[in-house]
Amino acid sequence: DGGITQSPKYLFRKEGQNVTLSCEQNLNHDAMYWYRQDPGQGLRLIYYSQIVNDFQKGDIAEGYSVSREKKESFPLTVTSAQKNPTAFYLCASSWGMNTGELFFGEGSRLTVL
Amino acid sequence: AQTVTQSQPEMSVQEAETVTLSCTYDTSESDYYLFWYKQPPSRQMILVIRQEAYKQQNATENRFSVNFQKAAKSFSLKISDSQLGDAAMYFCAYRSARSGGSNYKLTFGKGTLLTVNP
């Protein structure tokens, strides 16, 4: 079945450590996105990528980094510079940038101890 | 910048009844997309319904329908014959129809938590 796979689903991290969240899709979508979800805040865009080897900052990119070396993969690194990293992270993809609809993974819950 | 406002943090409905969730948005553009996404306790976001701004006809998907009022910048979701499985967080989202740069992103409201009572 086609879809978006995020891993791990739950992750615990000590302060000062970097952590990478994986996002893989087999939908042959060109565009991929990372959103952060906090209670009462809705979803906020961290980074997005329209094509391989290209990505753009979203609204809250500080303290995060991404790469897009393959069409299928868009990993997100939460660095030690992110002041409040505990959150639920959602990866999404879309056919291109013109269809509007996003398909989402099941999310990753990051907790900083 | 576009903004999306959901003024009802929580709503409840009796099973088999009808409920309407409100959404307003702010934009200076004339062509755009609007969406309602559902996030059940599993937390995976699922598209419920979409509306293209250039279409006057309101979108419908089975028990889900929208009331799209372009002039008022309002996009409400009506759920008919509510079922227990409809209980979830519902997000309204906006996307520009223009190409390029940050126009591609979806802007989400803060969500409405819907409870369905048996």
What does the pLDDT read at residue B36?
Answer: 97
Q: Which residues of A touch B9 (CB under 8 A)?
A: 40
What's the average model confidence in pLDDT over A75-81? 94
What does the pLDDT read at residue A97?
Answer: 57
Lowest mean pLDDT among A50-54, A104-108, B86-90, B101-105: B101-105
**Cis, bond preceding A8 (omega within 30 deg of 0):** yes
Residue B73 has pLDDT above 90, yes or no: yes
pLDDT band of A2, cuts 50, 70, 90: confident
Cα separation, B107 vs A58, whole angstroms: 11
What's the average model confidence in pLDDT over A18-46? 93
Cβ(B72)–Cβ(B96) below 8 Å: no
* Three-state secondary-structure class, residue A104: strand
What does the pLDDT read at residue A96?
Answer: 66
Cα separation, B48 vs B50, whole angstroms: 7
What does the pLDDT read at residue B101?
Answer: 64
Cα separation, A101 vs B105, whole angstroms: 10
Q: Which of A84-98, B12-26, B39-53 has the highest mean pLDDT?
A: B12-26
What does the pLDDT read at residue B102?
Answer: 66
Residue A18 has pLDDT above 80, yes or no: yes
CA distances from A85 to A113, B32, B76, B102 (A): 10, 32, 33, 23
CB nearest to A42's CB, from B35, B97, B111: B111
Nearest CA in chain B to A39: B110
Residue A82 has pLDDT above 70, yes or no: yes
A32-45 residue pLDDT tens: 999 999 988 889 99
Residue A64 has pLDDT above 70, yes or no: yes
Cα separation, B21 vs B36, whole angstroms: 10
B41 part of contact set with chain A, CB < 8 Å: no
Query: Who contacts A9 (Cβ-Cβ below 8 Å, separation ≥6)?
Result: A106, A107, A108, A109
CB nearest to A48's CB, from B47, B99, B104: B104
Residue B78 has pLDDT above 70, yes or no: yes
